[in-house]
A and B are shown apart, each in its own frame.
Chain A
Amino acid sequence: MLLELQDVTLKYGRIEALHGISLQVEEGEIVALIGANGAGKTSTMRAVSGLNPLASGKIVFNGEDISTLRADLRVIKGICQSPEGRGVFPGMTVRENLDMGAYTRRDSAGIAADLERVFGLFPRLLERAKQAAGTLSGGEQQMLAVGRALMSRPKLLLLDEPSMGLAPMIIQQIFDIITEINQQGTTVLLVEQNAQQALSRAHRGYVLETGAIVKAGTGQDLLTDPAVKEAYLGVA
């Protein structure tokens, strides 16, 4: 077990956003978290990456309790998140953004190899290496956010809405690359509103509703589940 959330609750002020979430991610999997706006998908991500403290519950990563570990130290443990809304550093060049992904690393040979790998996955980023990230298109920024997260060589890659606001063709391309990254050995926890794409790529999935998990299963099971179909896949 690479990641396990045990009965995690999370509060913004007095409002409870997550009411006891439990989920597991095995090494090598793609796990998708689907749900409507406000269901708690992003809150779950922020709990795992450490941006928001837990109100209660426990997060175990690689056999270690990281529930109270600072966000920047979780990166060193091997968790890296591509945040919702991409979160690139607009005033830095594409190359500097990628260097930020490797901020915690000192092995320059490994960093150079990973940079080559990212440029291999996203040739577009190589073309734009010297351009300020704020001037990239939405799709390019998304590629940069994913590439930047990969630069930390994470054991677990967290992707928050990688398809948000992108054209269908680009979405296809991003998901192809996510599958490729996974096949190269990185475990992926993915949050998506695009349930069709997410579940068809994922080994397993969880359905979140108003801060609680209401369904779990393999990607295929969830894709064919009548309730999931009706609520998230736009099929009656």
Chain B
Amino acid sequence: MNFDELFGHLGQHTVDGLAKGSIYALVALGYTLVYGVLKLINFAHSEVFMIGTFAVLGVWNLLGADGTQGVAMTLLLLAAGLLGGALASGATAVAVERVAYRRLRQLNAPPLIFLITAIGISMVLSETFGIWQGRLVVGMPTLIKQKVAFTIFGTEVTNTQLITIVAALVMMFALDQFINRTRYGRGVRAVAQNPDAAALMGVNKDRVIMLIFLLGGLLAGAAALLYSVRYGNTRFNVGFLLGLKAFTAAVLGGIGNLRGALLGGLLLGVVEVYAATLTQSNWEDVAAFVVLVVVLLFRPTGLLGESLGRARA
């Protein structure tokens, strides 16, 4: 166990964990939004993220990104990547809901059927991309060369870490405001807290459900851009492990709770980086899922433990 390395550069590893966790948090929001309203674990959400990364890659290839462009072009590529990723992921999420889940809701299908359908859709999407894009890792152009943006208390924060963490916090804040302060957000909370009463107040449940899938998809698309900037590659099954970890993050924070997803994501990222540092990366994934098991054993409602229904400002 390499304790010297971990505690020698604790700040560095913490920032790295927060950056990693920011991506988990954005994807976790998609699980938590859907769960908060439908009490459904949408396992296809990992593929919503995966399709976002391929859309980012597609947009960058289309615009001829090669890692040598200037600052203005880099900003344009980031914006275009965000737009492409968010649109592709958002559209995928809405399509999955429309094709698979809406019909099941109309049939009043039991929860197990939803779960099996979610896993099935996840496999269909992932394998489709495996055939279409190949099963190997696909490299992406390096858009931003890592360099130290600033140093705080002896801890160096790189430009990509800074972008990732700030972008995740901004989007989280925007979502929180949307859910807690706007009329549509109130409609979402109403359906989460009491679907029948919400209908009696004139809330169109199907539209609310479409909205939360869209929001979750848009955030997953944003996460896909941040992932692409940070890791510079993707693969047909990139969503599998990341999706499971984001789901873990959502459970850790309290599934159905928006702020819990943020907390859980950041915490999980930090735990993983610490574990990776201690064990030369061997036990990174083990640590993540040990966290899941421990949370489920001792605090099944998660750290913040509220549902979307009860979570409020």
The verdict on A91 contacting chain B, using a C-beta distance below 8 Å, is yes
Interface of A is mostly: mixed
CA distance A15 to B187 in the complex (A): 33
B201 cross-chain contacts in A, Cβ below 8 A: 72, 75, 80, 100-101, 103-104, 148, 152
Contact partner of B311 (CB less than 8 A), chosen from A49, A71, A80, A91, is A91
Minimal Cβ-Cβ distance residue in B for A100: B201
B193 cross-chain contacts in A, Cβ below 8 A: 89-92
The verdict on A231 contacting chain B, using a C-beta distance below 8 Å, is no
Q: Decide yes or no: A91 and B189 within 8 Å by CB, A72-B205, A132-B312 being known contacts.
A: yes
Contact partner of B196 (CB less than 8 A), chosen from A51, A103, A134, A149, is A51
A100 cross-chain contacts in B, Cβ below 8 A: 186, 190, 198, 201, 203
CB proximity to A under 8 Å, residues B179-235: 183, 186-187, 189-190, 193-194, 196-205
A148 cross-chain contacts in B, Cβ below 8 A: 201
Whether A70 and B204, one on each chain, are in contact in the complex, defined by CB atoms closer than 8 angstroms, is yes
The verdict on A83 contacting chain B, using a C-beta distance below 8 Å, is yes
A/B pair count, beta carbons within 8 Å = 78
The total of chain B residues at the interface (CB under 8 A) is: 22
Whether B200 and A103, one on each chain, are in contact in the complex, defined by CB atoms closer than 8 angstroms, is no
**Chain B proximity of A42: nearest CB distance (Å):** 11
Whether B194 and A89, one on each chain, are in contact in the complex, defined by CB atoms closer than 8 angstroms, is yes
CA distance A96 to B188 in the complex (A): 13
The verdict on B309 contacting chain A, using a C-beta distance below 8 Å, is yes
**Chain B proximity of A16: nearest CB distance (Å):** 18
Q: Decide yes or no: A71 and B197 within 8 Å by CB, A90-B310, A100-B186, A100-B190 being known contacts.
A: no
CA distance A149 to B200 in the complex (A): 9
Minimal Cβ-Cβ distance residue in B for A45: B200
The total of chain A residues at the interface (CB under 8 A) is: 29
A83 cross-chain contacts in B, Cβ below 8 A: 196-197, 200
Q: Decide yes or no: A87 and B204 within 8 Å by CB, A100-B186, A103-B183 being known contacts.
A: no
The verdict on A209 contacting chain B, using a C-beta distance below 8 Å, is no
CA distance A70 to B203 in the complex (A): 10
The verdict on A29 contacting chain B, using a C-beta distance below 8 Å, is no
Whether A87 and B200, one on each chain, are in contact in the complex, defined by CB atoms closer than 8 angstroms, is yes
A132 cross-chain contacts in B, Cβ below 8 A: 312
Minimal Cβ-Cβ distance residue in A for B208: A72
**Chain A proximity of B263: nearest CB distance (Å):** 18
Contact partner of A87 (CB less than 8 A), chosen from B183, B194, B205, B312, is B194
CA distance A89 to B201 in the complex (A): 11
Whether A103 and B203, one on each chain, are in contact in the complex, defined by CB atoms closer than 8 angstroms, is yes
Whether A51 and B200, one on each chain, are in contact in the complex, defined by CB atoms closer than 8 angstroms, is yes
Whether A103 and B197, one on each chain, are in contact in the complex, defined by CB atoms closer than 8 angstroms, is no
Interface centre among A70, A71, A73, A132 (most CB of B within 10 A): A71
CB proximity to B under 8 Å, residues A79-116: 80-81, 83, 87-92, 96, 99-101, 103-104
**Chain B proximity of A102: nearest CB distance (Å):** 9
The verdict on A76 contacting chain B, using a C-beta distance below 8 Å, is yes
**Chain B proximity of A134: nearest CB distance (Å):** 8
CB proximity to B under 8 Å, residues A51-83: 51, 70-73, 75-76, 80-81, 83
Minimal Cβ-Cβ distance residue in B for A82: B200
Contact partner of A104 (CB less than 8 A), chosen from B190, B202, B306, is B202
CB proximity to B under 8 Å, residues A130-188: 132, 134, 148-149, 152
CA distance A88 to B196 in the complex (A): 10
B183 cross-chain contacts in A, Cβ below 8 A: 103
Whether A92 and B187, one on each chain, are in contact in the complex, defined by CB atoms closer than 8 angstroms, is no
Whether A88 and B197, one on each chain, are in contact in the complex, defined by CB atoms closer than 8 angstroms, is yes
Identify 13 residue pairs between A and B in the complex whose beta-carbon atoms are under 8 Å apart, listed by A's number: A51-B196, A51-B199, A70-B204, A71-B200, A72-B204, A90-B194, A90-B309, A90-B310, A91-B193, A91-B312, A100-B201, A103-B202, A152-B202
The 8 residue pairs across chains A and B that have the minimum distance between CB atoms: A75-B202, A104-B202, A87-B197, A91-B310, A71-B199, A89-B193, A72-B202, A81-B200
